[in-house]
Amino acid sequence: MGAVVLFAVAMPPVAVAMLVCLLLGLAGVAFAASARPTRSQSASAASASTPGMLSGLGGARVAAGAAVAVLVLLATRWLALAVLAGGMATLWGRLLHDRRADEERRRVEGIAKWLEDLRDTLRGSAMGAEEALEHVAARPPVAIAAPLHTFLLRRRQGFRTEDALADLGEALAHPTADAAIAAIRLVVSGTAGAGRLYPTVNALAAAARDEVSARERVDRTRAVYQTSMKRLVIIGGGLLAYLRFMGGDLLDPYSTPAGQVVLLFPLGMWLGCVLWLRSLCRYDLPRRAVQVSS
């Protein structure tokens, strides 16, 4: 231990100044990016299908993370900790919460609403299957508005109902929607009787609504654990700060370049645990039914 302490030296001031300038430059770039016009709604909808933890970050959030990294670097002179603290500040709202789970739940809720509207239309009017589909697609739920608008546009352009429904199933990409569309295609093609469509849609609408209710219960339970984990993250950061500033020379060996490399190991393990907990927020969909094009 004595040899390690003798080996410990402070990071050169020039290196600290260069790193601070680099982080401040990144903050300036982030502010400049935030001043640009936002993308159109259609572009946002196109990219919403594959959202990630880094997608949609605003310039102010990135700048705040860079500022935190600068402060931690000036206070501790630990580059590894500064980078980790800056990344956590930037992604704080997404560390233990996956937006894809929320978007998936809204999509399922939209599918349930669409099936309920289709069921009510079939029950309360004398419309056929094709006319009922177009009537419901004209006033779609917000979460699945784009696929239904595309379906309605293709029907008005003269596409066959079977082809438009196949494209709709690919756009919705959900097993419940696949089952409903398969049943509707059988009726439209004349393979099955129209009288069987209403009970089928009714049962699928109830199943989709039950899935929404189950996911809401799961999300409420997850929210409790996410809050607890965020508290543990704050407590861990506070403990590390206490040891760094009040522990004397206990953590001085980590101020050396070799110490920073060693520090990457526990910090990497801790970050890996956080990311693993975040991965538990996702939903695993069952295998989709394969629809054969007619």
Q: Is the pTM of this model over 0.85?
A: no
User: Which pair of structure tokens corresponds to residue 105?
Assistant: 């739940």
The answer to whether the CB of 101 falls within 8 A of the CB of 219 is yes
Of the candidates 133, 147, 152, 142, the residue with the CA atom closest to the CA atom of residue 113: 142
Of the candidates 70, 65, 69, 73, the residue with the CA atom closest to the CA atom of residue 94: 65
Q: Is 282 helix (H, G, I), strand (E, B) or coil?
A: coil
pLDDT value for 129: 80
> What are phi and psi for residue 25, nearest 5 degrees?
-65, -40
Cα 242 to chain center, whole Å? 34
Give the DSSP letter string of 140-162.
--GGGHHHHHHHHHHHHTT--HH
pLDDT value for 145: 92
Of the candidates 226, 183, 224, the residue with the CA atom closest to the CA atom of residue 203: 183
pLDDT value for 205: 87
Tens digit of each residue's pLDDT, the chain (294 residues): 333 333 334 445 545 455 555 555 555 554 454 444 433 333 333 333 444 555 556 677 788 888 888 888 888 888 888 888 888 888 777 776 667 777 888 888 999 999 999 888 888 777 778 888 888 889 899 989 999 999 999 988 888 888 898 899 888 888 888 888 888 888 777 765 556 778 888 888 888 889 888 888 888 887 787 787 778 878 888 888 888 788 778 887 888 888 888 888 888 887 887 777 777 766 666 666 555 444
Task: Report the run of H or E that residue 61 belongs to, with start and end.
Answer: helix 59-76
pLDDT value for 283: 66
Q: Where are the domains of the chain?
A: 2-36+57-94+247-279, 101-212
User: Which pair of structure tokens corresponds to residue 213?
Assistant: 């209710």
